[in-house]
Structure formats: structure tokens, C-alpha cells
Amino acid sequence: MGHLWYINYPLVGEKDKYLQIATTRPETIPGDTAVAVNPKDERYGALVGKKVLLPTTNREIPIIADDYVDLVFGTGAVKITPAHDPNDYEMGIRQHLENITVIGLDGKMTKEAGKYAGQDRYEVPQEYCGRLG
């Protein structure tokens, strides 16, 4: 496992409130299609069904519950990027999530990554993670 990045995803319609996630793959944030929490996690039960704002593109994504989420890893809230992770892909199938490919076969960010399109995947986290956490 690599470095763990902690990033705040603003709650839609709730001023100055956010859901903090932990990830080892910040370069895939523009491709997130949900944030997942474990349904047994009492910290987040009231958030399931609400939405967060994707910090890199300002796209709204849902907060969902899935048993796959580890209650004790990171913050207990995980970003879901079905196009870039096999476990997220499986969750995406279960939860009917969209697949958004944001890293091309050449290692560059795709047009779906918005303003990060064309940049190397390893340069992108340094550009935005310092501002998001």
C-alpha cells in the first residue's frame, strides 16, 4: 500500500460540512462516481443517500452503503472509481455506478478528467491534493 491521502468532499447543500475520505489513488478522483461507507458504520448512517461534491470537477456523486467498505481503514469512507479499481468495479456493478475512465493507456489524464486532461497521472495529485485536504 502506498501513501494515504485524506481529502474532504463537501456535502451538497450543507455549508461548511464535508465527508473526509482516505485514498491511495488520488489521481483517480476525477473518475469517482460515489463515496461508500459500511452500512454498519454508525458514524455515517445519516449520510447514506446524500450527495457530495467531487472536489476536482464539482460533479455531485452519491454517498452509498456497501459491506465491502472496511470500518477501520482510513476514515471508513472510501471513494469509488469503478473504471480504475477491480474492487470498485465490482461495487459499481452492485450499486449501478457509472464507469468514468480518467487515465488513458498512455498514463495521461483523459478529457473526462476536465482541466487535468493531458497531464501525467503522477503530476495531478500534487496539483490538487494540497488544496483539498
**Is residue 126 pLDDT above 70, yes or no?**
no
Query: Higher-confidence residue: 127 or 35?
Result: 35
Within a domain: residue 44? yes
Within a domain: residue 37? yes
Interval 19-39 mean pLDDT: 93
Give me the number of domains the chain comprises: 1
The confidence score (pLDDT) of residue 133 equals 46
The confidence score (pLDDT) of residue 2 equals 67
- 3-class DSSP assignment, residue 46: helix
Rounded distance between C-alpha atoms, residue 52 and residue 40, angstroms? 20
The confidence score (pLDDT) of residue 24 equals 87
Looking at the chain, the number of H-run helices and the number of E-run strands are 2, 6
The length of the chain in residues reads: 133
Within a domain: residue 132? no
- Going by pLDDT thresholds of 50, 70 and 90, the confidence category of residue 127 is low
DSSP code, position 68: T
What is the domain range of residue 113? 5-123
The pLDDT tens digits for 40-78 are: 999 999 999 999 999 888 899 999 999 999 999 889 999
Within a domain: residue 106? yes
Q: Which residues of 26-60 are buried (b: 16+ CB within 10 A; e: fewer)?
A: bbbbbbbbbbbbbeebeebeebbebbbbbbbbeee
Check if the beta carbon of residue 19 is closer than 8 Å to that of residue 58: no
Within a domain: residue 95? yes
Residue 77 sits in a domain whose CATH number is: 3.90.740.10
Within a domain: residue 85? yes
Within a domain: residue 128? no
What DSSP string runs through 71-98? SSSTTSEEEE-TTT-HHHHHHHHHHTPP
Rounded distance between C-alpha atoms, residue 26 and residue 107, angstroms? 14
Within a domain: residue 89? yes
> Which residue type sits at 19?
L
